[in-house]
Amino acid sequence: MHSTQGEKNGDDKAGGSHYNRRPVKKTILRSFIVLEGLDGAGTSTQLSLLSNRLKHAGKPHTATWEPTDGPVGKLLRAILAGEVKMLPTTTAMLYAADRNEHVNAAETGIVARASRGELVISDRYIFSSLAYQSIDCGLDFVFALNERFPLPQCLLFIDTPVEVSQRRLSGRGKAELFDGQVFQARVRENYMAAFEKYRSSGMAISIIDGDRPQDAIHEEIWKILSGLPITGM
């Protein structure tokens, strides 16, 4: 299933209706693509498949992810693994700090790479913060932390049913901070609220059926990107 419009979530328990009323005015960063989804949705797999296909096609690109492999990103991974305890608001601010380096680093940041004409694909971005951190911190708080970051040219949300993603996670044998069916259902609701907020932003939003074989999902992603005016595709 391919859609360019998210579902409206009118009952925003975390952030209140003020979040949905606030207009979005953001820069769209061309040649920047983001993959999003619930835990277990397969975003990392799709990043790898897309990167390999671009490589074999001789198309220069950068595959990246959040949390990053930098110092703040490593701390975030320790928090997710339960090895370090932080307040939810602290965790949200750490995600924004990690993202600031990811986006704005002078030579290796997303903006610098895209400005040089590179195609940049990221597994997760600001939408993950809005979906996850807002449950404890409120959507307005998380949005304020991330409002200065540019939007990608294209957002691809792999919409995997909660029960399917949970089944995949159970096969990993290692739980993380945000795992759990009830929690992930709320995360999906927040994703949909965020997509509604950005519906008129100029960013291309595609919602993809994630309850299919990974190759079928990859082919749909490739078809979507090939049909957009993206440098390097």
Domain ranges of the chain: 17-66+119-226
- The string of pLDDT tens digits covering residues 35-70 is 999 999 999 999 999 999 999 999 999 999 999 999
SS3 222: helix
d(CA 46, CA 210) in angstroms, rounded, equals 11
For residue 83, CA distances in Å to 79, 105, 181 come to 6, 28, 22
Across 150-155, average pLDDT: 97
Query: 11 pLDDT exceeds 60?
Result: no
Distance CA 21, CA 110 (A): 29
What pLDDT sits at residue 83?
A: 95
> Residue 25's pLDDT is what?
60
pLDDT of residue 178: 57
Full-model pTM: 0.86
pLDDT at 17 over 90: no
Kindly report each contact of residues 15-20 with a partner whose C-beta sits within 8 Å and lies 24 or more positions away, as own/partner.
15/134, 15/138, 15/139, 15/140, 15/141, 15/142, 15/143, 15/193, 16/138, 16/139, 16/140, 18/140, 19/139, 19/140, 19/143, 19/193, 19/197, 20/193, 20/196, 20/197
Residue pair 225/120 in contact (Cβ under 8 Å)? The answer is no
In the structure, what pLDDT confidence band is assigned to residue 6 with cuts at 50, 70 and 90? very low
What count of Cα atoms within 13 Å lies in the side-chain half-sphere of residue 126? 22
- pLDDT over 70 (residue 172): no
User: Residues in the chain, how many?
Assistant: 233
* pLDDT of 182: 87
Task: Work out the average pLDDT over 163-191.
Answer: 78
Q: In what order do the strands lie in the sheet with 28-37?
A: 61-65, 119-123, 28-37, 151-159, 204-209
- Using CB atoms within 10 Å of the CB of residue 102, give its burial: 0 to 12 exposed, 13 to 18 middle, 19+ buried: buried
User: How would residue 176 be classed by pLDDT, with cut points 50, 70 and 90?
Assistant: low
Look at residue 4 and tell me whether its pLDDT is greater than 50: no
Look at residue 174 in the predicted model and tell me its pLDDT: 54
What pLDDT is attached to residue 222? 97
Question: Mean pLDDT over all residues of the chain?
Answer: 87
pLDDT at 24: 57
Q: Dig out the tokens for 63 from the structure.
A: 């595959």
pLDDT at position 231 is 73
Q: 3-state DSSP call for residue 122?
A: strand
Q: What's the average model confidence in pLDDT over 115-126? A: 96
Label residue 7 by pLDDT band (50, 70, 90). very low
- CB-CB neighbours of 35 under 10 Å: 28
Domain 17-66+119-226 belongs to what topology?
Rossmann fold (3.40.50)
Written as six digits, the tokens of 209 are 């059926």
The tokens for 220 are: 């749909």
**Contacts of 108 by beta carbon, 8 Å cutoff, 6+ apart:** none
Q: What is the pLDDT of residue 179?
A: 65
Residue 172's alpha-carbon distances to 36, 47, 84, 168, in angstroms, are 19, 19, 21, 7
Q: Is the pLDDT of residue 141 over 80?
A: yes
The residue with greater pLDDT, 210 or 5, is: 210
pLDDT value, residue 138: 94
- Residue among 189, 200, 56 at smallest CA distance from 132: 189
Parallel, antiparallel, or unpaired for β 119-123 and 61-65? parallel
The confidence score (pLDDT) of residue 169 equals: 80
